Amino acid sequence: MVAGTMAAGTMLAGVPALAADPVKIGLILPMSGPFASTGKQIEAAVRLYQQVNGDSVAGRKVEVIVKDDTGVAPDMTKRLAQELVVKEKVSVLAGFGLTPLALSAAPVSEQAKTPMIVMAAASSVITTKSPYILRTSGTLPQSAATIAQWAAKNGATKMYSMVTDYGPGIDAETVFKTRFAASGGSVVGDVRIPLKNPDYGPFMQRAKDTAPDAIFAFVPSGEGASFMKEFAERGLAKAGVRLLATGDVTDDDILPAMGDAAIGTVTAHYYSAAHPSPENKAYVEAFRKANGGLRPNFMSVGGWDGMHLVYEVLRKTGGKADGDSFVAAAKGMSWTSPRGPVAIDADTRDIVQDIYLRKVERQDGELFNVEFDKVAAVKDPGKGG
């Protein structure tokens, strides 16, 4: 009886043939290569979302098709996006581990009018490259602005900036310098580290030689362990230099293995596995149970919330997934995530979220990013937020 009612309603809507069609999500992720941890975390969260919430919504089954772009070849990402749209007939493109990869797929999204949900890549500019792009991860300026203001209020007057040399790093550097200077601080030096095959040692020594109060740092998810190792080995902490960073540096996926060198590091970011909310406690427990004890990181929550956005949009549209309907329904949408309250900015299609100040501490024998303060409802400063 319910099925018959749904079918009749669909015929009245004028799309009887599409009602039973699945909503296909083309999930493009680095499942291999140097950034494979990003792909692993996002795919695990996407699978968990469907395990918890089912694989159907608004009368349509939701199918996920995963493609590995290896994380280093924008041309491959673009080709995969084209194949997913043309051959697989996906309704939504999603994933995108790094900024260059997301930017390469943006023209495909725009030309095909296919919604594109960025679950990881963090440069401000991404959502401006197609009117069909939405983001459920975060931007580097959100974290960089927050840590800059905290640093200036907490004893840092001379800082050295160290960022990876690509879109998010340049965003982070620019916003950090601007906000730190506006708060009365001084950046005494800076360096941009190559994205491919970085050797952090010489750059760390150069920073130490300038005798700053603290270092501001950003490196991509998965690179934090190497960065932290060189910070310790070059003796910066012993020289009285504090490490203040975006949350990518103390990524929850690799933090447990960093050792005592990470203790005391202060970061600003939008998610910690130690976030003390009922929603997050349930999320962490379910994620670990489904993935052999693996701790979820901030990339995972971008995947979880990306799926939540898809499901809620489909509920709102009654199952319609064309680009214009999808984006119109997503604009202004808000919900409670494992990370806390989030919303999709109606003007920029970017995420609005709380940014937390955290310090690495040992709890119950494990290292965690323990939150001690927050700035609520942060819009992307890279777009004037």
Per-residue pLDDT of 288-344, as tens digits, reads 999 999 999 999 999 999 999 999 999 999 999 999 999 999 999 999 999 999 999
263: left (phi over 0), alpha (psi -120 to 50) or beta: beta
Q: What pLDDT sits at residue 17?
A: 38
Cα dihedral 127, 221, 29, 380, rounded to 10, equals: -10
Q: What pLDDT sits at residue 196?
A: 85
CATH classification at residue 104: 3.40.50.2300
Do 262 and 367 reside in the same domain of the chain? yes
The Cα 291–Cα 37 span in angstroms is 13
Q: What pLDDT sits at residue 5?
A: 31
The residues near 325 (Cβ < 8 Å, ≥ 6 apart) are: 317
Do 253 and 374 reside in the same domain of the chain? yes
In a domain, 77, yes or no: yes
Do 35 and 78 reside in the same domain of the chain? yes
Q: What pLDDT sits at residue 14?
A: 37
Mean pLDDT of 221-240: 92
Q: Which domain holds residue 208?
A: 141-269+355-378
In a domain, 5, yes or no: no
Confidence of residue 385 (pLDDT cuts 50, 70, 90): low
In a domain, 17, yes or no: no
Residue where the block lists tokens 């409670």: 336
Mean pLDDT of 64-86: 97
Do 154 and 231 reside in the same domain of the chain? yes
Tokens of 203: 């750059």
In a domain, 9, yes or no: no
Do 81 and 134 reside in the same domain of the chain? yes
Give how far Cα 142 sits from Cα of 17, 74, 303, 310, Å: 44, 25, 19, 24
Buried b (16+ CB within 10 A) or exposed e, 45-78: bbbbbbeeeeeebbbbebebebbbbbbbbbebbb
In a domain, 258, yes or no: yes
The Cα 77–Cα 187 span in angstroms is 36
Q: What pLDDT sits at residue 274?
A: 98
- Tell me the one-letter amino acid at 188: V
Do 237 and 371 reside in the same domain of the chain? yes
- Tell me the one-letter amino acid at 326: F
Mean pLDDT of 244-257: 95
CB of 222 within 8 A of CB of 268? no
Q: What pLDDT sits at residue 221?
A: 82
The full 3-state SS of the chain, as one line of letters, equals CHHHHHHHHHHHHCCCCCCCCCEEEEEEECCCCCCHHHHHHHHHHHHHHHHHHCCEECCEEEEEEEEECCCCCHHHHHHHHHHHHHCCCCCEEEECCCHHHHHHHHHHHHHHCCCEEECCCCCHHHHHCCCCEEECCCCHHHHHHHHHHHHHHCCCCEEEEEEECCHHHHHHHHHHHHHHHHCCCEEEEEEEECCCCCCHHHHHHHHHHCCCCEEEEECCCCCHHHHHHHHHHCCCCCCCCEEEEECCCCCCCCHHHCCHHHCCCEEEECCCCCCCCHHHHHHHHHHHHHCCCCCCCHHHHHHHHHHHHHHHHHHHHCCCCCHHHHHHHHCCCEEEECCEEEEECCCCCCEEEEEEEEEEEEECCEEEEEEEEEEEEECCHHHCC
In a domain, 186, yes or no: yes
Task: Calculate the average pLDDT of the chain.
Answer: 93
Confidence of residue 10 (pLDDT cuts 50, 70, 90): very low
Mean pLDDT of 1-10: 33
Buried b (16+ CB within 10 A) or exposed e, 285-314: ebbeeebeebbbbbbbbbbbbbbbbbbbbb
Do 303 and 259 reside in the same domain of the chain? no
The Cα 29–Cα 31 span in angstroms is 6
Q: What pLDDT sits at residue 383?
A: 85
User: Which range, of 6-15, 115-124, 220-229, averages the lowest pLDDT?
Assistant: 6-15
Do 129 and 248 reside in the same domain of the chain? no
Do 96 and 168 reside in the same domain of the chain? no
Q: What pLDDT sits at residue 20?
A: 59
Q: Is the pLDDT of residue 381 over 50?
A: yes
In a domain, 317, yes or no: yes
In a domain, 370, yes or no: yes
Q: Please give the tally of structural domains in the chain.
A: 2
CB of 64 within 8 A of CB of 46? yes
Do 231 and 367 reside in the same domain of the chain? yes
CB of 123 within 8 A of CB of 99? yes
Do 29 and 108 reside in the same domain of the chain? yes
Do 286 and 324 reside in the same domain of the chain? yes
Tokens of 139: 């931007």
Selected residue with higher pLDDT from 257 and 158: 158
Tokens of 63: 């199918």
